Amino acid sequence: MDGLPVIEAPKLGEATSAIAVGGGRIAQLDTGSSRWIIDAKPGNIRSPVFSSDASEKKQSNLEDTVTRKDKVMPIAMKDTRPYAVAAAKQNIDQTAKSSESFEQRPKVVYVDSPARIERNINDADYILSGRRYQATPTISRSGPNRYWAAWRADNKTAGEGPGNFAVLAYSDDKNKSFKEYGYLTYSPEHPGNQIVDPMLWTDPDGRLWLFYGVLGNNQHYDGVGGSWAIVNDSPNAEDPVWSEPFRLSYHGVPRVPIKVGDRWYMAIDGWRFSAEEPPMYMDHVGPHIYELDWKKKRVKHVSRLPPNNNGQYSGFFETEFVERKDGAVAALLRWQGKNSQVLFSVSKDGMRSWTPWQDYKVIAPSSSSRVWLGRTPSGRLLLCWNNDTVRRTLTVGLSEDEGRSWKFKKIIEPDAAIQVSYPVVAFGDDSEIFVIYDSGRDSNRQIRVSKVIEQEIISGSSKPLVNVISDPARQ
């Protein structure tokens, strides 16, 4: 999805005291709103660089105050003023109790039934030749020769909205072509529901997961959302079989799991869409981190990242994070800035707290769009993003200094006439990097996979090979 949230801070107890650094006041308690108001402006707050180096030791004491373990809660935003909530032990306990609500059923749930898989690829409601919209693809390698892809589509409406379904497809020729397996859909039983932003992941046991968000109430955004998953125990079989879908969370839109230490975590983003279609449960708005127990097929809430939009509506976040070599975790998300439209935040305490968001200027210009962040098998950080402000110059960058710079870059889709967006990366053999993305969601309606070689990007000899894997105009 596309766009940025307001998050209400927890109520403060009477024992909460002001924050002071170096003898000077940096914040005061607004008793009317029960919020800490930081005197410094956002642009004056120094947060650590994305990477780990000696310069981090030169930061102001503010970062230590804002992020010290068991002392401070995440930043909250209201209007254009930043707020930090300083908490004593009872406030940490209060937050823990609040986290329990993430596993409880809310009063209103618009999507309360599982989607179904339609296997008839010639059904007029789903057939490729009838597609009016294709977007937000994902990819994962499930076996030596098999890759799976999924994306959002619609045969009736040329855009996001009720009736959107997810296409499931697989390739046995290294992503040169894909065969459509079927469609995850709510129609015709629940035509007012929609599938949102599917994400594929292969777990340590070799099972293939499809995570996806749901929206209902026949609305573009229903104010609640919901995170679901479906699993394939034999994704490399001649006729793979998917499980019945199951719910992970009553809220938000799920992202792909990431390993941190010896555990798996995933972001679930609670959107704040618009004033016309507002969120129903403010505690769940914003980017959140959950721990995934993939064996038991359940998640547990860990933390909420600071909000990022200075009180504006429209926030989809599309949170990406990665463990740095120093053990800290760095997160990226989209926002609506000018030249730099990607922000970064860092956690040094196991993702319990996070530094305030800062412009990730090292990749500017960047679009307000989904990026992909991860590591290559060789250990380098890899970032794929639109290296412009209008979702066109899709670029792969490799970093050897944990994201402080992206010394090696390659444009994989330079077409200046058509928007290309929402990359997801899978890795093959011999330094192969496969990037899946959409091209002209309601014009070209294409899903493409670009192949580049890591060592060739470093040597400067890379020549991306682009395959159109789904095109209604030439199926």
Nearby residues of 90 by Cβ (< 8 Å), 6 or more positions away = 13, 15
Residue 155: exposure state from Cβ atoms within 10 A (0-12, 13-18, ≥19) = buried
Model confidence at 285, pLDDT cuts 50, 70, 90, reads confident
Q: How high is the pLDDT of residue 188? A: 95
Model confidence at 300, pLDDT cuts 50, 70, 90, reads very high
Instruction: Report yes or no on 382 lying in a domain.
Output: yes
Instruction: Report yes or no on 257 lying in a domain.
Output: no
- Percentage of the chain beyond pLDDT 70 is 77
Model confidence at 50, pLDDT cuts 50, 70, 90, reads low
The residues pairing with 27 across neighbouring beta strands, listed in sequence order, are 38
Q: What is the token pair recorded at 63?
A: 């970062």
Higher-scoring residue by pLDDT: 257, 90:
257
Can you tell me the mean pLDDT for 333-340? 86
Instruction: Please state, in angstroms and rounded to a whole number, the distance separating the CA atoms of residues 447 and 172.
Output: 17
Q: How high is the pLDDT of residue 283? A: 81
**What is residue 362's three-state secondary structure?**
helix
Phi, psi of 372, rounded to the nearest 5 degrees: -125, 130
Among the ranges given (77-86, 87-96, 391-400), the one the predictor scored with the smallest mean pLDDT = 77-86
Phi, psi of 431, rounded to the nearest 5 degrees: 65, 20
Per the prediction, the chain carries an average pLDDT of 82
Number of domains in the chain: 2
Q: How high is the pLDDT of residue 101? A: 63
Q: How high is the pLDDT of residue 10? A: 36
Instruction: Please state, in angstroms and rounded to a whole number, the distance separating the CA atoms of residues 314 and 377.
Output: 35
Can you tell me the mean pLDDT for 280-293? 90
- Residue length of the chain: 475
Cβ proximity of 28 and 86 under 8 Å: no
Instruction: Report yes or no on 176 lying in a domain.
Output: no
Query: By C-alpha distance, which of 287, 285, 288, 307 is closest to 299?
Result: 288
Model confidence at 417, pLDDT cuts 50, 70, 90, reads confident
Q: Tokens 């970064």: give the residue.
A: 344
Domain boundary among 70, 103, 136: 103
**What is residue 66's three-state secondary structure?**
helix
Give me Rg for the CA atoms of the chain. 22
Phi, psi of 377, rounded to the nearest 5 degrees: -55, -25
Nearby residues of 88 by Cβ (< 8 Å), 6 or more positions away = 13, 15, 16, 17
Residue 296 has pLDDT above 90, yes or no: yes
**What is residue 305's three-state secondary structure?**
coil
Residue 30 has pLDDT above 70, yes or no: no
Query: By C-alpha distance, which of 6, 131, 27 is closest to 84?
Result: 27
Model confidence at 276, pLDDT cuts 50, 70, 90, reads confident
Instruction: Report yes or no on 450 lying in a domain.
Output: yes
Can you tell me the mean pLDDT for 423-437? 98
Cβ neighbours, 10 Å, residue 22: 8
Instruction: Report yes or no on 75 lying in a domain.
Output: yes
Instruction: Report yes or no on 347 lying in a domain.
Output: no
Model confidence at 415, pLDDT cuts 50, 70, 90, reads confident
Residue 35 has pLDDT above 50, yes or no: no
**What is residue 260's three-state secondary structure?**
strand
Model confidence at 160, pLDDT cuts 50, 70, 90, reads very high
Instruction: Please state, in angstroms and rounded to a whole number, the distance separating the CA atoms of residues 77 and 272.
Output: 13
Instruction: Please state, in angstroms and rounded to a whole number, the distance separating the CA atoms of residues 381 and 62.
Output: 28
For residue 225, give the amino acid letter: G
How do residues 161-196 score in pLDDT, each as one tens digit?
Answer: 999 999 999 999 999 999 999 999 999 999 999 999
Element (H, E) at 109: none
Q: How high is the pLDDT of residue 272? A: 78
Instruction: Report yes or no on 430 lying in a domain.
Output: yes
Higher-scoring residue by pLDDT: 73, 315:
315
Model confidence at 208, pLDDT cuts 50, 70, 90, reads very high
Higher-scoring residue by pLDDT: 77, 102:
102
**What is residue 301's three-state secondary structure?**
strand
Query: By C-alpha distance, which of 38, 123, 120, 122 is closest to 74?
Result: 38
Cβ neighbours, 10 Å, residue 234: 15
Q: How high is the pLDDT of residue 159? A: 96
Can you tell me the mean pLDDT for 109-115? 96
Strands 446-453 and 408-413: unpaired
Among the ranges given (40-54, 69-83, 293-307), the one the predictor scored with the smallest mean pLDDT = 69-83
Instruction: Please state, in angstroms and rounded to a whole number, the distance separating the CA atoms of residues 386 and 394.
Output: 4
Model confidence at 74, pLDDT cuts 50, 70, 90, reads very low
Q: How high is the pLDDT of residue 449? A: 98
Q: How high is the pLDDT of residue 286? A: 86
Q: Tokens 């959002």: give the residue.
A: 152
Element (H, E) at 36: strand 35-38
Instruction: Report residue 215 CA to chain centroid gap.
Output: 17
Instruction: Please state, in angstroms and rounded to a whole number, the distance separating the CA atoms of residues 155 and 291.
Output: 36
Q: How high is the pLDDT of residue 99? A: 54
Q: How high is the pLDDT of residue 75? A: 26
Domain boundary among 103, 135, 154: 103
Which residue range forms the structural domain that includes residue 376? 367-475
Residue 3 has pLDDT above 50, yes or no: no
Helix %, strand %, coil % for the chain, to 5?
A: 10, 40, 50
Instruction: Report yes or no on 324 lying in a domain.
Output: no
Query: By C-alpha distance, which of 363, 244, 368, 392 is closest to 315?
Result: 368
Model confidence at 311, pLDDT cuts 50, 70, 90, reads low
How do residues 348-378 score in pLDDT, each as one tens digit?
Answer: 999 999 999 999 999 999 999 999 999 999 9
Domain boundary among 103, 119, 136: 103
